[in-house]
Structure 1
Amino acid sequence: MSLYTVARDDFKNARRSYAVLGVIGVLTAIVVLIFAAEMNQYDHPYRTLFDVSFFLFLTFPIILAPLTYLSIAGDRDGGAIKYAMGLPNSRGEYVFGKLVSRLGVTLVAVALSIGVAFLFSLVTFVNAPDPVRFVKFALVSLLFAFSFVGIFVGVSAMTSKRSRAMLGVFGAYFVLVPFWFGFLPFVSLTNILSTATDLFGVTISENTGRLIQSLSPATSYLYATEIVYQGVLPTPYGSLNSNFVDPPNEIYRQFWFNALVMFAWGAVSLFAGYVSFRRSELG
Structure 2
Amino acid sequence: MSFYTVTRDDLRNVRRSCVVLGVVGVFTALVALVFGSEISIYDDAYRTLYDVSALVGFAFPLFVASLTYLSIAGDRSGGAIKYVLGLPNSRAEYFLGKYVSRAVVAVSAVVLATVVGFVIAAATFTNGADPIRFLKFAAVSALYALTVTGIFVSLSATTASRSRAMFAVIGAYFVLVPFWFGFLPVISLDTVIDALTSTLGITLSESTRELVSVLSPATAYLQATEVVYAGVFDQYQILGTFHHESDRLARQSWFNVLILGCWATVAPLLGYLKFRVSELG
TM over 0.5: yes
1:93 paired residue number: 93
2:239 paired residue number: 240
Q: Secondary structure at the match of 1:76?
A: helix
Query: Structure 2 stretches of 5 or more lacking a match?
Result: none
Counterpart CA distance in 2 for 1:51 and 1:95 is 35
2:61 paired residue number: 61
Counterpart CA distance in 1 for 2:148 and 2:233 is 30
Q: What is the TM-score of this pair, normalised by structure 1?
A: 0.97
The structure 1 residue matched to 2:275, chosen from 259, 262, 277, is 277
1:254 paired residue number: 252
**Which letter maps to 1:91?**
R
**Which letter maps to 2:126?**
V
Deviation for aligned residue 1:172: 0.3
Deviation for aligned residue 1:246: 3.7
**Which letter maps to 1:271?**
L
1:200 paired residue number: 200
**Which letter maps to 2:239?**
L
Q: How does 1:160-199 map to 2 (within 5 A)?
A: 160-199=160-199
The structure 2 residue matched to 1:263, chosen from 252, 261, 264, is 261
Q: How does 1:90-169 map to 2 (within 5 A)?
A: 90-169=90-169
**Which letter maps to 2:242?**
F
For the pair 1:9 / 2:9, whether they are aligned, the reply is yes
Q: Secondary structure at the match of 1:281?
A: coil
Higher alpha-carbon deviation: 221-230 or 105-114: 105-114
For the pair 1:29 / 2:39, whether they are aligned, the reply is no
Whether the 8 Å CA contact 1:181–1:188 is kept in 2: the answer is yes
**Which letter maps to 1:239?**
I
Whether the 8 Å CA contact 1:233–1:245 is kept in 2: the answer is no
Q: Deviations over 1:69-99 (max 9, x none)?
A: 0000000111111111111110000001101
Aligned pairs, number = 281
Deviation for aligned residue 1:269: 1.6
Give the fraction of aligned pairs with identical amino acids, expressed as a percent.
55
Whether the 8 Å CA contact 1:107–1:142 is kept in 2: the answer is yes
Counterpart CA distance in 2 for 1:8 and 1:246 is 42
Q: Deviations over 1:140-165 (max 9, x none)?
A: 00111111100000000001100000
Counterpart CA distance in 1 for 2:244 and 2:24 is 35
Q: Secondary structure at the match of 1:272?
A: helix
Deviation for aligned residue 1:36: 0.7
Deviation for aligned residue 1:248: 4.0
Higher alpha-carbon deviation: 218-227 or 13-22: 13-22
Q: Secondary structure at the match of 1:204?
A: coil
Counterpart CA distance in 2 for 1:162 and 1:191 is 32
Q: What is the TM-score of this pair, normalised by structure 2?
A: 0.97
Counterpart CA distance in 2 for 1:245 and 1:36 is 29
Q: Secondary structure at the match of 2:59?
A: helix
Computed over aligned residues only, the root mean square deviation of the Cα atoms, in angstroms, reads 1.1
Counterpart CA distance in 1 for 2:35 and 2:246 is 28
Q: Deviations over 1:199-254 (max 9, x none)?
A: 2222212221111100000000010000000122221x11122x125414211122
Counterpart CA distance in 1 for 2:270 and 2:107 is 23
Whether the 8 Å CA contact 2:154–2:270 is kept in 1: the answer is yes
Whether the 8 Å CA contact 2:137–2:225 is kept in 1: the answer is yes
Counterpart CA distance in 1 for 2:138 and 2:273 is 31
**Which letter maps to 1:222?**
L
Whether the 8 Å CA contact 2:32–2:116 is kept in 1: the answer is yes
Counterpart CA distance in 2 for 1:249 and 1:26 is 39
Whether the 8 Å CA contact 1:35–1:117 is kept in 2: the answer is yes
Higher alpha-carbon deviation: 266-275 or 112-121: 266-275
Counterpart CA distance in 2 for 1:27 and 1:84 is 32
